[in-house]
Structure 1
Amino acid sequence: MAAGLKCDPIVILRIDGDDLHEFIKSPSFEPKMVSIFSELELDLEEGSVRDYIMKTLEKLTVEQGIPPASDSWVMSNIIETALQTCGGVEQQPISQETFLVEFRKVAECVAQKLKDQPVIVAHSENTLDGSGIKRFLSNKLELDKILETTLKNVPGNRHEKTPKEYLRVALDAVAPSAGLPPLGTVDQMDKVIGDVFKVLAADDEKVVREDEFKEMLAEILGSIMLQLEGNPISVSTDSVVHEPLASASTLLQPSNSS
């Protein structure tokens, strides 16, 4: 846990509506909303204004002063109640102009709800730049030990299945040691891995010896490292803290996304 906190330090934020008010009044508000609206037009062909507003709130983060909309408490007590307060948005026909006007109203309501009920969020940031993989590959003893353990723990009989199945399972198993997130948790990272597998033909339906398997896995890690060194990926996570924090009102300052 200590190593994880060192790599991904956690900051406790108090989301109380101030940052959201600033975002609504800022010059970046309208361009951001127009960009999101354009994205949503491709996904919500017949969506209502309410649908667009809900999806937009899911796309915004603590940087704009919005706590995680995926949290059930935030959805029920902040977002849903704000929509009820504004009222009538679901009956509006959708257009960019209508969306901008109605979203601003809802955002103001959300900011007021947050002022009445501040939300405590644990926020962490990390940059995947390949340094974790580099350290992992440079320690041959650790590398051999973990690869051997990984092979022993791969389910099934590896001699009868394809490298695709085993290499992806094995890569996920060594991910923590290489400073990588689990497969399926970061879209950009999954794309990098998919591209590497394609270039190295690691998805071929071919059975390989154990030593070849280890070499392929090490080669995959090396290729991922090079990709991340050239194009680092920034990852941030936000989680609502539901347990009461002692003296939170005095110890925690409003978040400063800038």
Structure 2
Amino acid sequence: MENSHHQQVRRKGRRNGEVVVDGSEIRKLVENKEAFGKFVEQKFRLLDTDGDGRLSVGELQPAVADIGAAIGLPARGSSAQADHIYSEVLNEFTQGKKESVSKSEFQRVLSDILLGMAAGLKRDPIVILRINGEDLNEFTESPRYEPEVAAIFSQVESGNSTLRQCLLAALRQLTVDHGMPPASDSWVMENIVEPALQELHADNLEQPLSQEVFFQEFRKFLAIITQQLQGHPVIVAHTENTFDGSGIKKLLSNKFELDKLLDSVWRGVPKDKDKTAKEFIRVAFDRMADSVNLPPYGAVEQVDAVVNEAFKMAKADDGKAVDETQFKKLLTEILGAAMLQLDGNPISVSTNSVLHEPMSTSSTLLSPSPPSPMVSSPSE
């Protein structure tokens, strides 16, 4: 269930004429056979560097990397579990056996992947916000300003901090809900924050501070930042998700859907004499993630910890081979263990990522033309 903070951010985005990316454009593209055919033709030609009319494993790698970036995975090589998923995406194209794929095979798999992305965006839309100082000014003039800033000061003041250190630390506590783009983003720091600091008295910035001085200077600081944002609006992609185990609970309560999903993931894992290594249970679990409203492994650290604990509880990491019955039993136990943890302690994750102009994205290969906004690495 969507929380009030996310609803508030969405209302702001719509009020300012911004965009909610909900997957409808991707879905519309895939369902338009003529348009999708042209889209595939363009992307296939871009990937087919040797022009032989087929995509080799090497030529598919940029597409696989883009898909990983689009679903929020860390870069290949940074996580063993993420690398498993990259391998599985590649296997979707090659079926684990082919050395190259035709255009029609590429189109079929890409269609499935894009429709999956569209379904994910429909469930968890990305709100594209244009932050232009209006909401930050509204915050500084509102009754909530003083109590919130007092709470922030108590968190960032350490006794021997300079005014500069406290101002920057306090600024990082503000979010898009306050009308502040992520201060940890390098572009925001260089073009918004640093110029604002330069307009404050340099002598004061390096001195020890009191709460009174901080309050006075922080209000000045935010006023200058408001002016900077008016001249240089920042486009931010905002997402907020709460993982509470409800998706797992829904699946476990529907035996038909559970059995169908378990059959599907069992068919997709490598086997030797009707058994599979337990290491592939992690791959199978990740294939089920979207169906139970969980992020892919490696995308959200807090959820990864829950999944790791669930595997430990089910003793699913001992490296032994399992048959189909054991495989399905273990996956069901892992799902149940994860559900119980999330039900008792839901995990909320918010990301605010600056979209730079011209829009830079590691997923341009998958973006329909004209490109739809995609999220860069989370800035906070």
Common fold by TM > 0.5: yes
- Specify the alignment match of 1:255 in structure 2: none
Q: Which one has more relative contact order, counting CA pairs under 8 Å at least 6 apart?
A: 1
How many residues matched?
A: 232
The partner residue of 1:126 within 241, 265, 275 is 241
Q: How does 1:51-70 map to 2 (within 5 A)?
A: 51-70=165-184
Identity of aligned residues (%): 52
- Residue 79 of structure 1 and its aligned partner are, at CA, apart by 1.2
Q: Residues 59 and 210 (structure 1 numbering): CA distance in 2 closer, same or farther, change over 3 Å?
A: farther
Q: Residues 202 and 80 (structure 1 numbering): CA distance in 2 closer, same or farther, change over 3 Å?
A: farther
User: How far apart in 2 are the matches of 1:152 and 1:40?
Assistant: 52
- Residue 174 of structure 1 and its aligned partner are, at CA, apart by 4.2
Q: How does 1:137-176 map to 2 (within 5 A)?
A: 137=252, 138=254, 139=257, 140-146=259-265, 149=268, 152=270, 171-172=285-286, 174-176=288-290
The partner residue of 1:29 within 145, 150, 169 is 145
- TM-score, reference length from structure 2: 0.51
Q: Residues 227 and 108 (structure 1 numbering): CA distance in 2 closer, same or farther, change over 3 Å?
A: same
User: How far apart in 2 are the matches of 1:144 and 1:37?
Assistant: 55
- Specify the alignment match of 1:180 in structure 2: 294
RMSD: 3.4
Q: Deviations over 1:170-190 (max 9, x none)?
A: 655643343212455545535
Report the AA paired with residue 236 of structure 1. Answer: S
- Specify the alignment match of 1:102 in structure 2: 217
- Specify the alignment match of 1:14 in structure 2: 130
- Specify the alignment match of 2:196 in structure 1: 82
Contact 1:13 1:121 in 2 (8 A): yes
Contact 1:132 1:179 in 2 (8 A): yes
Structure 1: tracts of 5 or more residues without a match? 246-258
- TM-score, reference length from structure 1: 0.72
- Residue 16 of structure 1 and its aligned partner are, at CA, apart by 1.0
Structure 2: tracts of 5 or more residues without a match? 1-116, 360-380
Report the AA paired with residue 70 of structure 1. Answer: S
Q: Residues 195 and 16 (structure 1 numbering): CA distance in 2 closer, same or farther, change over 3 Å?
A: same
Contact 2:265 2:287 in 1 (8 A): no
Q: Deviations over 1:69-117 (max 9, x none)?
A: 2322212111111111224253121443333332222111111111111
Contact 2:130 2:233 in 1 (8 A): yes
- Residue 34 of structure 1 and its aligned partner are, at CA, apart by 2.7
- Residue 193 of structure 1 and its aligned partner are, at CA, apart by 4.3
Report the AA paired with residue 210 of structure 1. Answer: V
- Residue 14 of structure 1 and its aligned partner are, at CA, apart by 1.7
- Residue 228 of structure 1 and its aligned partner are, at CA, apart by 3.2
